[in-house]
Structure 1
Amino acid sequence: MQIARIKELKNLYREVLLNDIVPFWTKHSVDWVNGGYYSYLDRDGTILNTDKSVWILGRQCWLYSRLYNTVEKRSEWLDIAKNGYDFLNKYCFDSDGRMFFQVTQDGKPLRKRRYFYSETFAVMAYVEYARATGNDESLEKARNVYKSIIRMYETPGILTPKIIPETRKLRSHANTMSLLATSLVINEADENSCYEKVIDSCVNDIFRYFVKKDRKALLEVVGENGEIIDNPDGRCINPGHSIESSWFLMHVGMRKNDRSIINQALEVLDWSFERGWDKEFGGLLSFVDLDNKPPEKVEWDMKYWWPHTETLYAMLLANYITGDARYEALYKKVHEWTFKHFPDPEYGEWFGYLHRDGSVSLPIKGSVWKGPFHIPRQLLYG
């Protein structure tokens, strides 16, 4: 990619980040009365639901800490980060040490799920907030929550499985991918051989169990030994997850100067994009079937915001690593589709949920899932 184009993109991303995405969430989501953040926002930022997503609490605390650490030392950003940090600590942990998935606006518990993803985003928040403040207590919290994640990941029975394991034992790519991402984040701030061991284990497991080179696919769910389960869940490919996983793997390969990891990650990126890109309407499909059978998920052909931002960063990173113009061309294709369909020119921020043809399905800007994370992360990293 030519230097002039790189500068142009950096300026664009900074403009979108600082004059669109961040101001929208700063204005509409911060709860200065109860603490934390609202994420259920209508198109214009109106609050649709005062319940709070613990995923978003961790992600948004991470974002404002990251902005303070890497963009500008704005006291407002650090205050907003602290608002989420304090709320997480006070309200979002159950008595068993696990975290809730959803709480009321004043912190009363509502939902607790069978996953550890609230914990992964809390670790990210604690690590970045520790960097911003020099707060050793925050880093220690990150270590403790990380240890809890490891226990849940490694110990059968702590989390209620989705499928009864006595009947069918399964492995989840989402769990391994999330643990890898979290380990990379905490290892940056707290170098320890224990994190490297987990990183190596996650990388090995992704390639050993979930990547199917003969089928040119990364599967979301496989049998205990990596066998393909011939049902809709077992054949399910989530292009966004696979592509996100590919850039995590590229980061590992770059850190270790391991060309084998990088090359395998690039294969995952190539396969996932080829399978996921909608050749009729453009954009990335949410789910596809390994054997091109009808997907079970009714939202399979919707275009979500986050797979597109993950793909933008993955293609830029692949182009940076390889110098291959093919990745620049693919990046351009995704960039043009993304910036044509997702940004809202009237109220700002981006739509998150589009129909297959790119028309808006839901005008909302936030939900229990969508908050200020995937878009600003891509704008910061890209």
Structure 2
Amino acid sequence: MEPISQDISNTGNIAGVIAPEQFTHEFQQELRAILQYWLQYTVDETNGGFYGSVTNDNIPDTTAPKGLVLNSRILWAFAAAATHEYNQQYKEAADRSFDYIQQYFIDLTHGGAYWSVDAAGKPLDTKKQVYGIAFCIYGLSEYVKLTRSDQALQLAIDLYNNIETHARDITGEGYIEAFREDWSVIADLRLSDKDSNTPKTTNTHLHIVEAYANLYEVWPDEQLRKNIKNLLTIFDQFIIDRNTYHLKLFFTREWQSQTAVCSFGHDIEAAWLLQHCAEVIESSIHTQYFKSLAVKMAQTTLNWVDKDGALWYELDISSKTINRQKHWWVQAEAMVGFYNAYQLTGNKLYVQLCGRSWQFIQQYLIDTEKGEWFWGIDEKGQLLYEPKAGFWKCPYHNVRACLQLIGRMQKHQPVT
């Protein structure tokens, strides 16, 4: 396969065609449209909180389970949006999400948070999935930025302490994936059926460090800072493949890689997110180092962008099979990751890639009739009919991409 850089000149200089002011306006409008969708179609007036699932046709499944990840990401999205541009409806949605999480998801007996509850709020899957708890910390921390709530901050700190007490692998570094309700050993550690059943994963560690960095912004604890540094070291030593600059995904407790699959969305997400975490703790050594890695990881990822501007899903290295589906979250992360590389290098190739990602999203993913983004399209260009809202379809990647790009483009200059 030829790198996308071979033919990008044929698409025109997007950086010159669309001014940063126009980009910023479009992302601001899209941010409002996404949030309006969630306000209009996902609020559960009967049982509280938000529906566990909403179809592509905006029909809620009133019986669907409600996931910790979905509710935590809703909390993060509305809190972040209200901090960016205060809107009373956003604040009320964030309040609603916080109240629901606190009342129904938090395990007052054993600590931590349940993976899911049923439609009425009764605990359903009571395992302690560290990935989900990390997102809860992430959402709570953002809510603290908005409200300065001591209650929310203490809950976030408690969840952080739960992870450090029960999930941290003292001998092998890093964090174990999951536990039973009482934090005892569990056989099935997987996030989902498609994941490998391994004790450690890149996905969970990426979102632990993300959550910890967000918590550090409202609670600058020195031990927390050390733990963030340790997580960055884990990515450097075990997760980032120094030959390819892709991420390895699944591991034994001793950090032996168990699969040969590249996830392009996680590659480009980690490229900018690890740099961000280093910047949050104001470590100049880590920041400069992860800036250099961000460029190398973006450079690797651009080779897997299709001619329509979309980033493919993943590569099975052993079979050399490319999954050519184009998922919504991957394109959102591609925009941020490539624009970050542009800021770091001044290379307009990366801002062109960001612009092409946005054009693809506008053409294929945004549902201009019924709102929000479709899950994605398959290799034949057909829609993937997954829910608009659900366990994994949340206002997180797309809201965050809009907020990130608005902030970055308002500065409109490469970072040196």
TM-score, structure 1 normalization = 0.88
**One-letter amino acid of the structure 2 residue matched with residue 48 of structure 1:** D
Matched, 1:61 2:75: yes
- Pick the aligned partner of 2:137 from 123, 142, 164: 123
Q: Does 1:172 align with 2:201?
A: yes
- 1:265 and 1:13 mapped to 2: Cα distance? 23
Is residue 92 of structure 2 the alignment partner of residue 79 of structure 1? yes
Give the deviation of 1:33 after TM superposition.
3.5
Match of 1:277 in 2: 305
Q: Distance in 2 between matches of 1:45 and 1:256?
A: 45
Deviation at 1:263, TM superposition (A): 0.4
Aligned match of 2:6: none
Q: Secondary structure of the residue that 2:220 maps to in structure 1?
A: coil
2-structure distance, mates of 1:10, 1:122:
29
Q: Which runs of 5+ in 1 are unaligned?
A: none
- 1:32 and 1:83 in contact (8 A); partners too: no
Instruction: Give a deviation string over 1:135-179, Cα, whole Å, max 9, x none.
Output: 111111111111112234314674535579xxx975421122111
The separation in 1 between residues aligned to 2:205 and 2:67, in whole angstroms, is 22
**CA distance, structure 2, for counterparts of residue 140 and residue 263 of structure 1:** 36
Confirm or deny that 1:11 pairs with 2:38. no
Q: Residue type of the partner of 2:289?
A: S
Question: Are 2:270 and 1:256 aligned?
Answer: no
SS in 2 for 1:212: coil
Residue in 2 that maps onto 1:287 = 314
1:241 partner amino acid: H
Kindly report which structure 2 residues correspond to 1:202-281, keeping only aligned pairs within 5 A, or say none: 202-229=231-258, 234-254=259-279, 255-257=282-284, 258-274=287-303, 276-278=304-306
Question: Can you give the 5+ residue segments of structure 2 that lack an aligned partner in the other structure?
Answer: 1-14, 170-175, 191-196, 406-416
Secondary structure of the corresponding residue to residue 80 of structure 2: helix
Find the partner of 1:333 among 356, 364, 369.
356
Question: In the alignment, which residue of structure 2 is the partner of 1:25?
Answer: 38
Partners of 1:266 and 1:341 lie apart in 2 by 28
Cα distance in structure 2, aligned partners of 1:163 and 1:112:
13
SS of 2:93's equivalent in the other structure is: helix
- Identify which range, 152-161 or 234-243, moves more after superposition: 152-161
Distance 1:115 1:141, change over 3 A: same
Q: Which residue of 2 aligns with 1:343?
A: 366
1: distance between equivalents of 2:230 and 2:28? 36
Instruction: Determine if contact 2:52/2:389 at 8 Å carries over to the other structure.
Output: yes
Q: What residue is the counterpart of 1:160 in the other structure?
A: 186
Check conservation: 1:217, 1:290, Cα contact below 8 A.
no
Query: How do 1:44-55 and structure 2 match up within 5 A?
Result: 44-50=57-63, 51-55=65-69
Tell me, in whole angstroms, the C-alpha distance in 2 between the residues paired with 1:13 and 1:132: 21
Equivalenced residue count is 367
Q: Is the Cα contact below 8 Å between 2:261 and 2:317 reproduced in 1?
A: yes
Counterpart of 2:222 in structure 1 is 193
- Report the Cα offset of residue 331 of structure 1: 1.4
How much has 1:314 moved relative to structure 2? Answer: 1.1
Counterpart-to-counterpart distance in 2, 1:246 and 1:363 = 27
Amino acid at match of 1:316: Y
Kindly indicate whether the alpha-carbon contact (under 8 Å) linking 1:24 and 1:45 is maintained by their aligned counterparts in 2: no
Report the residue type matching 1:5 in the other structure: A
> Match for 2:290: what amino acid?
I
Shift, 1:113, TM fit: 4.3
Structure 2 CA distance for aligned equivalents of residues 216 and 134 of structure 1: 39
Structure 1 residue 11: deviation in Å? 0.2
- Which of 123, 144, 148 pairs up with 1:134? 148
Q: Tell me the residue number matched to 2:9.
A: none
| Cα distance in structure 2, aligned partners of 1:273 and 1:152 | 39
The TM-score with structure 2 as length reference comes to 0.81
Other-structure match for 2:7: none
Find the aligned partners of 1:161 and 1:188 in 2 and give their Cα distance: 35
Deviates more, 1:197-206 or 1:282-291: 282-291
By how many angstroms is 1:49 displaced? 4.3
2:117 maps to 103
Aligned counterparts of 2:37 and 2:221: Cα–Cα separation in 1: 38
How far the C-alpha of 1:326 sits from its partner, in A, is 2.0
Aligned partner (choices 297, 310, 326) of residue 303 of structure 1: 326
In 1: Cα distance, 2:101 partner to 2:189 partner: 30
